[in-house]
């Protein structure tokens, strides 16, 4: 019996997939719990349209991520920080500081959790900071930390 999964079901499939299962499993487990619905001709066509729309949406998102990555790879962001006499920072430059600086400079929103830093920046200088843009698309932004005048 063919069914369309409404939710991800472990060892069966993911939401929106059309799978062939035994009638008893469908009737006694999946349908009562709202995990699947019986695949009729209309429902199959609707599911195919939904899968095509999802694929198109993912393709556009990946294209946009490539554009953002290209922009970020060319970006040089300067961050001013307060320093002491020995040119060490009074604090540090964190992923949140970098995200807000990128947003101000390039008008690109970057989630601070996607900025991959082992530890905050605590000294003046130039740093290459990797950013996870989308999926496996990654960009590297050049960060220059200068003393605040």
Query: pLDDT for 94-148, tens place per residue?
Result: 999 999 999 999 999 999 999 999 899 999 999 999 999 998 999 999 999 999 8
Q: For all residues of the chain together, what is the average pLDDT? A: 92
**Based on the domain organization, do 99 and 127 belong to the same domain?**
yes
Burial 16-54 (b: 16+ CB within 10 A, else e): eebbebeeeebeeebeeeebbeebeeeeeeebeeeeeee
- Average of per-residue pLDDT across 26-55: 91
The answer to whether 7 touches 19, Cβ cutoff 8 Å, is no
Instruction: Give the rounded percent of residues in the chain with a pLDDT score beyond 90.
Output: 80
Q: Does one domain contain both 46 and 71?
A: no
Range of the domain at 75: 65-147
- Are 88 and 140 found together in one domain? yes
Q: Residue 85 — pLDDT band, cuts 50, 70, 90?
A: confident
Residue pair 92/122 in contact (Cβ under 8 Å)? The answer is yes
Residue 126: phi, psi to the nearest 5? -110, 135
User: Mean per-residue pLDDT for 79-107?
Assistant: 91
Regarding beta strands 18-20 and 137-147, do their DSSP bridges make them parallel or antiparallel, or are they unpaired?
unpaired
| Phi, psi values for residue 104, rounded to 5° | -65, -45
Q: How many CB atoms lie within 10 A of CB 1?
A: 15
At 47, is the pLDDT very low, low, confident or very high (cuts 50, 70, 90)? confident
pLDDT at position 149: 79
User: What is the structure's pLDDT at 73?
Assistant: 95
The CATH number of the domain holding residue 18 is 3.40.5.10
Total domains in the chain come to 2
Give the SS3 label for residue 79: strand
Q: Is the pLDDT of residue 69 over 90?
A: yes
- Judging by DSSP bridges, how do beta strands 137-147 and 76-81 pair with one another? parallel
Enter the pTM of the model. Answer: 0.71
In this prediction, residue 137 carries a pLDDT of: 93
Residue 48: pLDDT over 90: no
Contact 82, 91 (CB under 8 A): yes
């Amino acid at each position: 019996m063919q069914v369309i999964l409404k939710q991800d079901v472990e060892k069966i499939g993911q939401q929106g997939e059309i799978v062939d299962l035994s009638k008893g499993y469908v009737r006694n487990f999946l349908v009562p719990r709202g995990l699947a619905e019986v695949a009729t001709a209309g429902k199959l066509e609707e599911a195919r349209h939904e899968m095509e729309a999802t694929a198109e949406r993912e393709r556009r998102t990946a294209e946009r991520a490539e554009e953002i990555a290209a922009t970020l790879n060319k970006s040089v962001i300067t961050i001013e920080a307060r320093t002491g006499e020995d040119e060490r920072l009074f604090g540090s430059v964190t992923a949140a500081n970098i995200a807000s600086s990128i947003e101000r400079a390039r008008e690109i929103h970057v989630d601070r959790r996607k900025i991959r830093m082992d530890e905050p920046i605590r000294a003046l200088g130039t740093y290459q900071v990797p950013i996870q843009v989308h999926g496996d698309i990654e960009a590297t932004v050049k960060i220059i930390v200068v003393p605040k005048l």
